[in-house]
Structure 1
Amino acid sequence: MKRPLVALAALLALALPLRAQEASTAEAAAQAAQGLREAARMLEQANGARDRLAALTGTVRAYEDGLALMRDTLRRVAVERARLESDLNADRAEVGRLLGALQSMSQTPEPVMMLHPTGPLGAARAGMMLADVTPALQAKAEELRAKVAALTEIEQAQNEAATTLREGLSNVQTARANLAAAAADRTELPLAYTEDPVATALLMASTNTLDAFAAGLAQTIDERIATPPDEATARMGTLPLPVEGEILRRPGEADAGGITRPGLVIATEPRALVSLPVTATLRFRGPLLDYGTVAILEPAPGTLFVVAGLAQVFGNAGEVLPEGAPLGLMGGETPNADAILTGSVPEGASARSETLYLEVRNADGPVDPGTWFRLD
C-alpha cells in the first residue's frame, strides 16, 4: 500500500501555519495512514491465523478507525485547499496591477527613468521609495510562490489519498464478508443450552410485547447443558457500548414520532461492527415485533441485553459468546470514495445514518442501561 497520507501529514505540518487544528490534522493523517497499513497487513494474515474470527474482527475495527480518520483528514485538507484557492483569487487583481506597472516600467528607456520632473532631489527620493518597496515586493512574490507550491502539493496528496481511500473501502468490504463467513463456520463455541425452535416460533407468534417475549424465553430451552460464567456482575457500570457511535436518545426521551422507549438509541455509521462488551449467552436472534433484527444476550443470570437494529447477527441461540466477539453488523450502505471526496457525504454525527437500540432488562422489567454501561 502507498503512503500518501504520510506525505499529506508532512505537507500539512510544513505548508500550513502551525495552529492547533492544523497540527491535529497532520497527526490524524499520520494515524490514518498507519491504521490502514496495519489493517491491510492484518487482512493478508487473517486467513492463516489460528483464530481467524478474532483476526478478522480486529481487521474490520482497524479499517473502520483508519477510514474514519482518513475521511476527516480529507475534509480538512479540502477546506485548506479552498482557502488557498480563495487567497490566490483575491491576490490575482493586485498581482495583475503590479505586473502591469512593472511591464510599463520595463518599456520605458533607461535614461528617461533616471529623470524626475522635480529635479535631482525628486529622483533621489523616488529611488529611496523604490528601495523600500522592493523588499515588500519580494516578500509578496515569495508568499505567492509558497501558496502555489502548497496548492500543487495538496492536489497531489489528495489524488494519492483518493487511491488509498478506494483501496481501503474495497478491503473493508472484503473483511466484513470474510468475518460473516468465519462467524457462520465456527463450531467451537460452548453451549449453555439447546434451543427448542418450535417453542421459539410459538412464543414469537403469541406475544406482542417485548415484556411478554422476554418473560417467555425460558420456554424455548430444550436442554440445559451448562451454567455460563458470570463475568458481567462484577463489572456493572463499566461495560463499553457494543458499537462505536453517539447516543441519540436516552431512556424515556421521545423520538420524532413522540415514542419513548426504556433503552438507548445509538447512532452508528453504516455497516459498523457490533461486538460483545462481555461474555454472554445468546438467548435469541431474529426479527422481533417492530424492533427489526434483534439479538438478546444473557450476560448474567436473570439479566438480558436486548440489541436491536442489526442487519446481520452472528451466532445461534444457546451459544456462549466471548467478550469482544463480533455480534453482527449494522445495515445501510457504505459511501463510495467519490461521494466522500466530493463532500456529498455528511460529516460528523450526520454521517451516522444507522441506529442501534440497546435495552437492559431483569425479572422486573427494563432497568437503566447506565447501571451496566459507561454512558459518558
Structure 2
Amino acid sequence: MTRLALILALLAGAGAVTAQDAGQAAREAARALEQAAVLLDEADSARDRVAALTRTVRAFEDGLSAMRDGLRKAAIRETELARKLATQETEVAQLLGVLSALGGQAQPTTLLHPQGPLGMARSGMLVASVTPALADRARALRADLDEVTALRQLQENAAETLQDGLASVQDARTTLSQAIADRGALPVRFTEDPVRTAILIAGTETLDAFASGLSQIAEDEAPQNLPRIQDRKGTLPLPSSGVILRRANEADAAGVKRPGIVLATGPQALVVTPTAATVRYSGPLLDYGLVTILEPQANLLIVLAGMDQTFGEAGQVLPEGSPVGLMGGTPEAVTEILSPSGERGGAGRTETLYIEVREGDRTVDPLTWFAPSQ
C-alpha cells in the first residue's frame, strides 16, 4: 500500500474526525490507487500504459482531494474541541478535585455530619447518585482529549505523505505525457486541412461560428462508427475532477453569460474524454485558450476550453477516458493543503474548465448530458 493510500485509510477510519461522505471518499480513493498501481504493473503495450497512467493520475488527484477535505475537517474538529475544553477548564478542575476526593481513603471526620446519622445517610445517598454521572463526564472528557491527540498526530504524519503524494502525481503526469507521445497511431476518421483550419479560425469571431464551420477542416472523412450514447444522457462523468462554479447562462463577475458550465479544478488537473469520441479540433481558439472539441456521435459536440496543454489531433478517434489535456496552474504547497481554511478559493481548485455541449446547430445545458453529482 502506498503512503498516500495508507493515510487515506487512516482518514477513512477516523469516524469522529471526518464526516461520513469524507470517509467514503477516502476509502474509494485508496482503492482506486491500489487498482491503478496493479494496472500499471500489468500494462504491456503503450496504449495500455496510457490507460493505466491516466487512471493513476486521476486516482492520485481524487486521493489528494479526499485527503485535503479530511485533513481540513480534522483541523476544524481539533479547533472545536480545543475551544470546548478551554471553556470547561474550571469545570474540569472541579471535576478532578471531586473525583480525587471520592477516590481517597475515608477519614474519620468524613463519618461525622452536622445533622447526625440521618444527615450522613442522606449525604451518602446523594454521593452515590452523583458518582456515576461524574464518572461518565470524566470518560467524555478523556475521549475528547484522546481525539485531540489523535487529530494532531494525524496532521503531523500527513505532511510528509502529502509531499510524497504531490511529487508522485507530478511524476505520473510527466510520465503520462511521454507515454502519449510513444503510444503510436490512433484510429483516424479524417485528415485535417491546416489551411482550411487557419482560414476558419481567422474568419470566425465566436465559438458558435467556429463550431458551425468545423466540417470545413476535414478531408476524406469516414462515416461515424462510434456507438450512440443517447441512452447515457444525463449520466456522463465530468471530464475532470472539480466543482461546478457556474451553470449554463449564469453571469460571471463581468456580467457575461455563456451557454456552457464552468468547472473549478485543481492546478494541473487531468482532463479526459467522458465517452469515446472523434477529435474535431485541438488547439488555441479565440480568447478561450487551448480548446478541444469532441464529437461522440453525429450532430453532438462537446467543447472543452481553458486547458494549458492538450493531447490528441484533429481526426483521431479516442476511447472513453482518454487524456485530452492538462489544466494550468502551480501545484499546491503542503502547507496550503494542511491549512484549515482550505475552503478559500474552492479548496485548492484554482483553475477553470469551460464545458459546452452542442446538439446540431444549438447549444444545450451541459448538465442534460453530464451527471451534476460528479
How does the TM-score come out when normalised to structure 1? 0.81
Equivalent AA in structure 1 for residue 169 of structure 2: V
Classify 1:74/1:106 alpha carbon distance in 2 versus 1 (closer, same or farther; 3 Å): closer
Question: CA offset at residue 176 of structure 1?
Answer: 1.6
Aligned partners of 2:136, 2:368: CA distance in 1, in Å?
Answer: 62
**Of 162, 185, 192, the match for 1:188:** 185
Cα deviation 1:143-176 (Å, max 9, x = unaligned): 3333222322232233334443333222222212
Aligned partners of 1:9, 1:87: CA distance in 2, in Å?
Answer: 24
Conservation of the 8 A alpha-carbon contact between 2:36 and 2:53 = no
Question: CA offset at residue 220 of structure 1?
Answer: 3.2
Alignment of 1:366 with 2:362, yes or no, is: yes
**How many percent of aligned residue pairs carry the same amino acid?**
48
**Of 93, 96, 109, the match for 2:93:** 96
**Equivalences for 1:317-356 in 2 at 5 Å?**
317-346=314-343, 351-356=348-353
Aligned partners of 2:123, 2:75: CA distance in 1, in Å?
Answer: 45
Aligned counterpart, 1:279: 276
Q: What SS class does the counterpart of residue 254 from structure 1 fall into?
A: coil
Whichever of the two has the greater Rg, that structure is 1
**Equivalences for 1:78-97 in 2 at 5 Å?**
78-97=75-94
Aligned counterpart, 2:202: 205
**Of 22, 44, 68, the match for 1:71:** 68
Aligned partners of 2:371, 2:31: CA distance in 1, in Å?
Answer: 29
Equivalent AA in structure 2 for residue 187 of structure 1: G
Q: What SS class does the counterpart of residue 313 from structure 2 fall into?
A: coil
Conservation of the 8 A alpha-carbon contact between 2:290 and 2:306 = yes
Conservation of the 8 A alpha-carbon contact between 1:275 and 1:328 = yes
Alignment of 1:156 with 2:153, yes or no, is: yes
Classify 1:76/1:43 alpha carbon distance in 2 versus 1 (closer, same or farther; 3 Å): farther
Aligned partners of 1:28, 1:300: CA distance in 2, in Å?
Answer: 33
Equivalent AA in structure 1 for residue 9 of structure 2: V
Q: What SS class does the counterpart of residue 57 from structure 1 fall into?
A: helix
**Equivalences for 1:107-256 in 2 at 5 Å?**
110-221=107-218, 223-224=219-220, 226-232=222-228, 234-235=230-231, 237-238=233-234, 240=236, 241-256=238-253
Question: CA offset at residue 189 of structure 1?
Answer: 0.2
Conservation of the 8 A alpha-carbon contact between 1:232 and 1:278 = no
**Of 254, 257, 264, the match for 1:267:** 264
Aligned partners of 2:151, 2:229: CA distance in 1, in Å?
Answer: 52
Q: What SS class does the counterpart of residue 291 from structure 1 fall into?
A: coil
Question: CA offset at residue 55 of structure 1?
Answer: 0.7
Classify 1:75/1:345 alpha carbon distance in 2 versus 1 (closer, same or farther; 3 Å): closer
**Equivalences for 1:29-68 in 2 at 5 Å?**
29-42=26-39, 51-68=48-65
Question: CA offset at residue 5 of structure 1?
Answer: 4.0
Alignment of 1:315 with 2:318, yes or no, is: no
Conservation of the 8 A alpha-carbon contact between 1:11 and 1:153 = no
Equivalent AA in structure 2 for residue 286 of structure 1: G
Cα deviation 1:110-137 (Å, max 9, x = unaligned): 3444433444444444444444443333
How does the TM-score come out when normalised to structure 2? 0.81
Q: What SS class does the counterpart of residue 308 from structure 2 fall into?
A: strand
Q: What SS class does the counterpart of residue 143 from structure 2 fall into?
A: helix
Equivalent AA in structure 2 for residue 231 of structure 1: P
Classify 1:120/1:279 alpha carbon distance in 2 versus 1 (closer, same or farther; 3 Å): closer
Conservation of the 8 A alpha-carbon contact between 1:11 and 1:154 = no
Equivalent AA in structure 2 for residue 195 of structure 1: E
Alignment of 1:6 with 2:32, yes or no, is: no
| Runs of 5+ consecutive residues of structure 1 not aligned to the other structure | none
Question: CA offset at residue 369 of structure 1?
Answer: 4.3
Question: CA offset at residue 56 of structure 1?
Answer: 0.8
- The RMSD of aligned alpha carbons is 3.6
Q: What SS class does the counterpart of residue 305 from structure 2 fall into?
A: strand
Question: CA offset at residue 328 of structure 1?
Answer: 1.1
Instruction: Tell me how many residue pairs correspond in the alignment.
Output: 368
Equivalent AA in structure 2 for residue 200 of structure 1: T
Aligned partners of 1:367, 1:109: CA distance in 2, in Å?
Answer: 85
Aligned partners of 1:374, 1:118: CA distance in 2, in Å?
Answer: 79
Q: What SS class does the counterpart of residue 295 from structure 1 fall into?
A: strand
Aligned partners of 1:9, 1:306: CA distance in 2, in Å?
Answer: 36
Classify 1:50/1:100 alpha carbon distance in 2 versus 1 (closer, same or farther; 3 Å): same
Conservation of the 8 A alpha-carbon contact between 2:64 and 2:165 = yes
Equivalent AA in structure 1 for residue 308 of structure 2: A
Aligned partners of 1:137, 1:201: CA distance in 2, in Å?
Answer: 80
Of stretches 79-88 and 100-109 in structure 1, the one that deviates more from structure 2 is 100-109
Greater relative contact order structure (CA < 8 Å, 6+ sep): 2
Question: CA offset at residue 91 of structure 1?
Answer: 2.8
Conservation of the 8 A alpha-carbon contact between 1:239 and 1:278 = no
